[in-house]
Structure 1
Amino acid sequence: MHPMLNIAIRAVRKAGTIIIRHYEITGYHETHETNYQTLSNNMKKDVLCQMTTLILKSYPQHLILTEDTIKKEENQNTQWLINPLDSTINYSKKLPHFSISVTVRVKGRSEIAVIYDPMRNELFYASRGQGAQLNGYRLRGSFTREINKAIITTNFPCINNPNHKTYFQIVNRIWAQCPNVRRSGSPSLDLAYIAAGRIDAYCEIGLKTLDFAAGELLIREAGGLVTDFNGAHDYFYSGNLIAGNARIVKTILMNSKKDKTMIKD
């Protein structure tokens, strides 16, 4: 196992222990909303502190990027992208569908990816060129050929996104062909499930880098395709993403290109 992958796995497992401990506190979900938000933020800070400490102990020269610090122009040779909790809303509502993710990027390329679901104890991980695994078992994406038999997940952008109207047109067209369009609220787990063959495709615009960085490598290592809405590879900058098995991704791309007004990166 790659040394950085080993550290990343140790980091997400440590984070999972903290998150589950807070999740199981009696009456936690009954706390006043404002107080709960404070508790949730403190928990995430604790998780980030523990993960960062563990990583920097082994790699003190590496750069740690989080939701508060990540910048697209960062050019440090080795970056660790940490998402301590995706999704906070699911977690706060006691909906047991959330995860922790770590991505290691070297000179602008994703080399290591880990997504951990602490509630199910499912550990998804990948190293560039070495394939993707779930709890030690090799992963391959789905082989669904027809969109009407696929499961497609998505999220919906805020109305301030300049592409939101065009995106809803695309989703409506997909929905007319695919009865199984769903929204789980956790992009990281959706992408991990694509790598595992549980879901066939995912699409969204304006996605945050921390929400898809790990899943992007997992999918590609599991034989899937990741692209933006123009069929290019600018999703790391735009956050506009289509991912899944190649045939379903191509069908979604065909639907997106039917609009006179294309999704703008």
Structure 2
Amino acid sequence: MNPALNIAVRAIRVGGKIISQYYDLKNITYTTEQSKILYFIYKIREKVFLSISSIIHQSYPKHSIINVCSKKKIINHDYQWLINPLNGTINFIKKIPHFCLSILIKEKNKICISVIYDPIKNDLFTAIKGQGAQLNGFRTRCCEYKNNIQNKIIALYFKEKNIKNTHLYTSLIQQFLQEKISLRQTGCSILDLAYLSSGKINAYIGFNEKSLRVTFGELQIRESGALITDFIGGHNYIENNILLVGQVNILKFILKKTRILNQKLI
């Protein structure tokens, strides 16, 4: 195993254990004050980050270790470890077992290793640039699309931003339902991207998706054979905050639908 990946796996499992303990022992509901809930989540993220970063620091004391949930600026360094201590916060709060931790390693600002961990299901998704993606040690590939679009699964993420996006989102859902496509909006976009890379779902569509969340799953996606585009088939998905992810043929199918809908909305 790659030495850096080995450390990342060891660290993320320790962080996952902490998350699992809080998930099992604490009953967080919206009946308490919102400020107390936010503070509690903040303390959990801090504890997870400190536990993960201490393990990394023992082996790589000169590398930058960054908590992406913190407001601190990212340090410009040749080696960066980006840590997302918890994605899928609402699921965690509401006791829905679909959330994850993730670690991203950058060398000279280029992503080289990605680790995503679901502590409840004990699923470990890993990817090394040029060496493929894995789930629990087994090589994974994205789902191939041939002739039949029916019974495929598409995961969705939507955060309202403007009317046009809302209309496009609802119109796409209508189109997919007519095609008998199954839709999922799970509340954990990083884990959705990991699921796509391991063939559990067929495509992912994100409206107003945060670029950092995309970054954590990007290497997994590419190493599994999937592609990322914007809604016109280009590469400006970060700037546009709208992206499509999937195997090339299913992307062609979705892009055909979005082009028709975009023309109607103009």
Against the structure 1 CA distance between its residues 8 and 37, is the aligned structure 2 distance closer, same or farther, given a 3 Å change threshold? same
**How far is the alpha carbon of 1:98 from its aligned partner?**
0.6
Residue of structure 1 equivalent to 2:58: 57
Against the structure 1 CA distance between its residues 56 and 239, is the aligned structure 2 distance closer, same or farther, given a 3 Å change threshold? farther
Against the structure 1 CA distance between its residues 250 and 76, is the aligned structure 2 distance closer, same or farther, given a 3 Å change threshold? farther
Q: Aligned partner of 1:242: which letter?
A: L
CA contact (8 A) 1:67 1:210 kept: no
**How far is the alpha carbon of 1:47 from its aligned partner?**
0.9
**Partner Cα distance (2:241, 2:71) in 1:** 17
Residue of structure 2 equivalent to 1:182: 184
Aligned length: 262
Residue of structure 2 equivalent to 1:212: 214
**How far is the alpha carbon of 1:40 from its aligned partner?**
2.0
Between stretches 80-89 and 119-128, larger displacement belongs to 80-89
**How far is the alpha carbon of 1:135 from its aligned partner?**
0.9
CA contact (8 A) 1:151 1:201 kept: yes
Residue of structure 2 equivalent to 1:43: 44
Query: Does 1:202 find its partner at 2:204?
Result: yes
**How far is the alpha carbon of 1:140 from its aligned partner?**
1.5
Residue of structure 2 equivalent to 1:242: 244
Residue of structure 1 equivalent to 2:87: 86
Q: Aligned partner of 1:208: which letter?
A: K
Q: TM-score w.r.t. structure 2 length?
A: 0.87
**Partner Cα distance (2:81, 2:163) in 1:** 28
Between stretches 201-210 and 160-169, larger displacement belongs to 160-169
Residue of structure 2 equivalent to 1:251: 253
Unaligned stretches of 5+ in structure 1? none
CA contact (8 A) 2:141 2:197 kept: yes
The DSSP-based 3-state class of the residue aligned with 2:97 is coil
CA contact (8 A) 1:154 1:183 kept: yes
The DSSP-based 3-state class of the residue aligned with 2:204 is strand
For residues 47-126 of structure 1, what are the structure 2 equivalents within 5 Å?
47-59=48-60, 60-69=62-71, 76-126=77-127
Against the structure 1 CA distance between its residues 55 and 162, is the aligned structure 2 distance closer, same or farther, given a 3 Å change threshold? farther
CA contact (8 A) 1:16 1:100 kept: yes
Against the structure 1 CA distance between its residues 158 and 122, is the aligned structure 2 distance closer, same or farther, given a 3 Å change threshold? same
The DSSP-based 3-state class of the residue aligned with 2:46 is helix
Against the structure 1 CA distance between its residues 69 and 178, is the aligned structure 2 distance closer, same or farther, given a 3 Å change threshold? farther
**Partner Cα distance (2:54, 2:75) in 1:** 21
CA contact (8 A) 2:149 2:181 kept: no
**How far is the alpha carbon of 1:28 from its aligned partner?**
4.8
Between the aligned residues of both structures, percent identity stands at: 38
CA RMSD for the aligned pairs? 2.6
Q: Aligned partner of 1:219: which letter?
A: I
**How far is the alpha carbon of 1:153 from its aligned partner?**
0.7
Q: Deviations over 1:57-107 (max 9, x none)?
A: 333233525033487x97543332221111000000111111111112233
Query: Does 1:129 find its partner at 2:130?
Result: yes
Unaligned stretches of 5+ in structure 2? none
Residue of structure 2 equivalent to 1:8: 8
Between stretches 128-137 and 22-31, larger displacement belongs to 22-31
CA contact (8 A) 2:140 2:198 kept: yes
Q: Aligned partner of 2:170: which letter?
A: F
**Partner Cα distance (1:102, 1:112) in 2:** 8
CA contact (8 A) 2:53 2:65 kept: no
Against the structure 1 CA distance between its residues 179 and 112, is the aligned structure 2 distance closer, same or farther, given a 3 Å change threshold? same
Between stretches 27-36 and 4-13, larger displacement belongs to 27-36
**How far is the alpha carbon of 1:8 from its aligned partner?**
1.6
CA contact (8 A) 1:63 1:76 kept: no
**Partner Cα distance (1:62, 1:175) in 2:** 46
**Partner Cα distance (1:224, 1:191) in 2:** 10
